[in-house]
């Protein structure tokens, strides 16, 4: 098989609110950190240890606006996307690289409570089309 795969699946918590940058042509890009945790028990001490990994996520256009409106720091989300590495030059003229995850599918997992204590309908996407899906719909 000669094909390749570039796919990332994560479930984690937003480390900050989505920061959006709008372009002159009307498009936009949103950026935010996502934290995933791995827990294990230290064999020698018996102590529970949690390690946090931080991921830089990118959402674009309509998806960015949905994220800005519906999620905030601490919310739990499921995402699918692809890795993308950017090269840039810092102030000292040194090449730098950033690896980001470009989100193309997502499900918001944190329940939103409105003023009347009922869940608000929150859009989700599968290949950037909106669906109404709750956490109970997930296969795990």
pLDDT of residue 79: 97
- Return mean pLDDT, the chain: 84
pLDDT(129) > 50? no
Helix (H, G, I), strand (E, B) or coil at 18: coil
What percentage of the chain has pLDDT greater than the value 90? 74
Q: What is the pLDDT of residue 123?
A: 60
* Distances 88 to 6, 24, 110, 112, 129 between C-alpha atoms, Å: 22, 22, 35, 38, 32
Q: What is the pLDDT of residues 78-103, one digit of tens each?
A: 999 999 999 989 999 999 999 999 99
DSSP run (H or E) holding 61: helix 61-70
* All domains of the chain in start order, with CATH: 8-137 (2.40.50.140)
Distance CA 126, CA 134 (A): 13
pLDDT digits (tens, 9 = 90+) for 54-66: 999 999 999 999 9
Band of residue 112 on the pLDDT scale cut at 50, 70, 90: low
């Amino acid at each position: 098989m000669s094909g390749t795969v570039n796919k990332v699946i994560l479930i984690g918590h937003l480390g900050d609110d989505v920061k959006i940058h709008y372009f002159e042509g009307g498009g936009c890009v949103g950026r935010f950190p996502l934290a995933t945790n791995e827990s294990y028990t230290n064999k020698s001490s018996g102590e529970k240890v949690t390690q946090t990994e931080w991921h830089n996520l990118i959402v674009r256009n309509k998806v960015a606006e949905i994220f800005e409106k519906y999620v905030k720091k601490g919310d739990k989300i499921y995402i699918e996307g692809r890795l993308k590495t950017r090269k840039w030059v810092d102030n000292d003229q040194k090449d730098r690289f950033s690896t980001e995850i470009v989100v193309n599918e997502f499900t918001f997992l944190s329940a939103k409570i409105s003023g009347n204590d009922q869940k608000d309908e929150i859009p989700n996407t599968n290949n950037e089309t909106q669906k109404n899906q709750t956490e109970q719909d997930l296969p795990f």
